[in-house]
Amino acid sequence: MSTLLKGAALAMCAGITCAQAAENNDWHFNIGAMYEIENVEGQGEDMDGLAEPSIYFNAANGPWRIAIAYYQEGPVDYSAGKRGTWFDRPELEVHYQFLESDNFSFGLTGGFRNYGYHYVNEDADTANMQRWKVAPDWDVKLTDDLRFSGWFAMYQFVNDLNTTGYSDSRVETETGLNYTFNETVGLTVNYYLERGFNIDESRNNGEFSTQEIRAYLPISLGNTTLTPYTRLGLDRWSNWDWSDDPEREGHDFNRLGLLYAYDFQNGLSMSLEYAYEWEDHDEGERDRFHYAGVGVNYAF
């Protein structure tokens, strides 16, 4: 589950601590937790959905930032109060800020994530898969009010890929323009791409592509920030069911959401998010999703 809450909360907190650490040249820390759920309409009998609790810890000093996180992700049968198959995902990332100025900034992240895959009512007990990550990020001043920024992540997956159904490689990026109208209102319009593929030509499992336009309208009101946003689907296809049907399945999708963030001005901050997403599939099926997330962060 890739969400605005996670990206916004972690990036915002990490960015603040990086800036402070670079200025003071000492250690600054963030610790926090988030809980996210996604429910599918029309699943009234078992109330199926996805749940992802997570905790994280960031430490920054000068140009260096170290981030440790632990996620779980998997389907939940709310009516029975039980979970199905799920991932345990501990993760370590190290970020180095090579350049940082008002005109141009450039950084690089290296990371490792382990997927412990827990099966329920299946022959295999577990699977254990690893993901390696390299991701540059940038920010360029075009005018006093307009900036170009983004990131580009390259992933390599190894071990138990036939069991988990993942492809061996993936790229993911979000990049675009940020315009500041005044101290209260801004606008960000980004292009988003996530593409799973296989370097090994003998494999075709888990390949997919997602392309979106993502627009955010942050509104700062004292300690409160409200961010209405949308995700407009450009193209999405997948072949996750490659073992039964090797054909790629197309999807049409869009999302509307609102992120609420509050800074208590004592190191503590919190965020709430709600989004509604609708999908139409080649087979004629329709899915409607309700996403909700809550997060808390403490900086010291």
**Whether the predicted model's global pTM rises above the 0.75 cut:** yes
**Alpha-carbon distance 253 to 40, whole Å?**
14
pLDDT digits (tens, 9 = 90+) for 25-82: 689 999 999 999 888 765 544 456 788 899 999 999 999 999 999 999 887 766 666 6
Give the model confidence (pLDDT) of 101-123 as tens digits.
999 999 999 999 999 988 776 56
pLDDT at 238 over 90: no
Q: Which helix (H) or strand (E) holds 111?
A: strand 104-118
Alpha carbons 154 and 151: distance in angstroms, whole number: 10
Look at residue 18 in the predicted model and tell me its pLDDT. Answer: 43
Q: In whole numbers, what is the pLDDT of the chain averaged over residues?
A: 85
Q: Which domains does the chain have, with CATH numbers?
A: 2-12+32-299 (2.40.160.40)
Flag whether pLDDT at 11 surpasses 70: no
Q: What are phi and psi of 41, to 5 degrees?
A: -65, 150
174/283 Cα distance (integer angstroms): 29
Q: Look at residue 149 and give its three-state secondary structure.
A: strand
Separation between Cα atoms, residue 232 and residue 132, nearest integer Å = 29
Helix, strand, coil share of the chain (percent; to 5): 10, 65, 25
3-state DSSP call for residue 104?
strand
Q: pLDDT tier at 162 (50, 70, 90 boundaries)?
A: confident
